[in-house]
């Protein structure tokens, strides 16, 4: 663990009190308890919102994760003590930033440190979905494999195929680079803002004017947009109809981006060939219809699940907390 920022100042009330919503890697928890009066969550149970509201009254900082809801009630609570919410993770779609701003509570996240691992996992889902890896493993484990045969579980070639990236930020660009350099793929993308020219050049990526243009040309579509009001349900039945027959959808971003019922229908009817999903509309609930399908690879939100990323996310969260309590601007302020 890096200890660059050193001991934060103690408040007049003694050590700063930090409420940690979920269990974190041991190395991160060790630093938290060394630097702060930290309440950890050893059972890793998911807390109800009331517990976070109480924590806002009793603690100087709250450390939620990307799956914990931090609604307005947490920020609006009378006699609030908490002055910072240091999110463990990049996505902040479950934190009410307007309420945070209204109440003068700072919010930070942990960008940059999970990019490569999440991009690796997206590549894994692209290949697993195209080559029917989960279907094959299920068949083998169930004793249903009776040997090599020329027509067994034929999939789709990834090498040289066209990949459409929706959202060309850090992770989208990292997937594009892998796809182009490692798998000789043609890369298309859509992005609301002008992308990093170096990232575009590294993947020889071509910008599409509309998502329809991208969908019509892509063999694989990989989603890398944030969940916001304007991106929720951005891939719906209309979009599946625009995709190529035989196309594959991969989502390692947020389940909310996709109308999941429409995705199920597209997979059931063969409108698209397959999907690889690491995120879901109602996590951790996965619909029975999705579970029943053979042409979808399902993972339990593992994008950043390496020890390297999860410890680095903790270091980043600590750097934000430490800066805040030393009266400095945290490096990853989002509100
Ligand atoms: C994030 O940080 O937003 C990721 O979803 C965690 O893997």
Widest distance between CA atoms in the chain: 74
Please identify which of the residues 254, 310, 315, 316 carries the catalytic annotation.
254
Quick check: 109 and 334 in contact, CB under 8 A?
A: yes
pLDDT at res. 14: 76
Q: If pLDDT is split at 50, 70 and 90, which confidence band does 115 have?
A: very high
Q: What is the mean pLDDT of residues 296-314?
A: 98
Is 304 close to ligand 1, i.e. is its CB under 6 Å away?
yes
Active site residue 213: no
At residue 9, does pLDDT exceed 90? no
> What's the gap in Å between 267 CA and the centre of ligand 1?
26
- Measured from the Cα of 305, ligand 1's closest atom is 7
At residue 10, does pLDDT exceed 90? no
Q: What is the mean pLDDT of residues 212-233?
A: 97
Is 222 close to ligand 1, i.e. is its CB under 6 Å away?
no
Rg (CA), the chain: 22
Is 87 close to ligand 1, i.e. is its CB under 6 Å away?
no
pTM: 0.95
Active site residue 283: yes
At residue 1, does pLDDT exceed 50? no
Q: Which of 92, 113, 114, 119 to mutate to test the pocket of ligand 1 (most atoms within 8 A of CB)?
A: 114
Q: What is the mean pLDDT of residues 180-197?
A: 98
- Measured from the Cα of 118, ligand 1's closest atom is 7
Is 257 close to ligand 1, i.e. is its CB under 6 Å away?
no
For 149-167, what is each residue's pLDDT tens digit?
Answer: 999 999 999 999 999 999 9
Dist. CA 265–CA 113, nearest whole Å: 36
Active site residue 254: yes
């Amino acid at each position: 663990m890096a200890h660059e920022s050193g001991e934060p100042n103690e408040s007049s009330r003694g050590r700063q009190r930090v409420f940690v919503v979920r269990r974190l890697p041991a190395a991160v928890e060790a630093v938290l308890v060394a630097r702060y009066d930290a309440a950890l969550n050893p059972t890793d149970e998911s807390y109800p919102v009331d517990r976070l509201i109480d924590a806002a009254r009793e603690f100087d900082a709250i450390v939620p994760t990307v799956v914990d809801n931090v609604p307005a009630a947490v920020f609006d609570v009378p006699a609030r003590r908490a002055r910072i919410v240091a999110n463990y993770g990049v996505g902040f779609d479950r934190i009410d930033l307007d309420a945070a701003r209204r109440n003068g509570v700072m919010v930070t996240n942990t960008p940059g440190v999970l990019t490569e691992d999440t991009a690796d996992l997206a590549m894994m889902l692209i290949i697993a979905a195209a080559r029917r890896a989960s279907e094959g493993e299920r068949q083998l484990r169930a004793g249903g494999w009776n040997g090599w045969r020329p027509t067994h579980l034929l999939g789709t070639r990834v090498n040289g195929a066209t990949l459409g990236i929706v959202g060309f930020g850090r992770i989208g660009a990292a997937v594009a680079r892998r796809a182009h350099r490692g798998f000789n793929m043609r890369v298309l993308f859509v992005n609301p803002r002008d992308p990093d020219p170096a990232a575009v050049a590294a993947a020889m990526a071509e910008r599409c004017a509309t998502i329809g243009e991208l969908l019509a040309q892509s063999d694989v579509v990989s989603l890398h947009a944030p969940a916001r009001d304007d991106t929720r349900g951005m891939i719906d039945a209309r979009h599946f109809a625009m995709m190529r027959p035989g196309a594959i959808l991969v989502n390692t971003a947020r389940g909310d981006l996709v109308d999941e019922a429409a995705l199920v229908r597209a997979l059931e009817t063969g409108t698209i060939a397959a999907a690889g999903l690491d995120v879901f509309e109602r996590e951790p609930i996965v619909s029975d219809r999705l579970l029943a399908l053979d042409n979808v690879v399902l993972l339990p939100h593992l994008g950043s699940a390496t020890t390297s990323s999860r410890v680095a996310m903790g270091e980043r969260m600590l750097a934000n907390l430490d800066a805040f309590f030393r009266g400095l601007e945290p490096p990853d302020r989002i509100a």
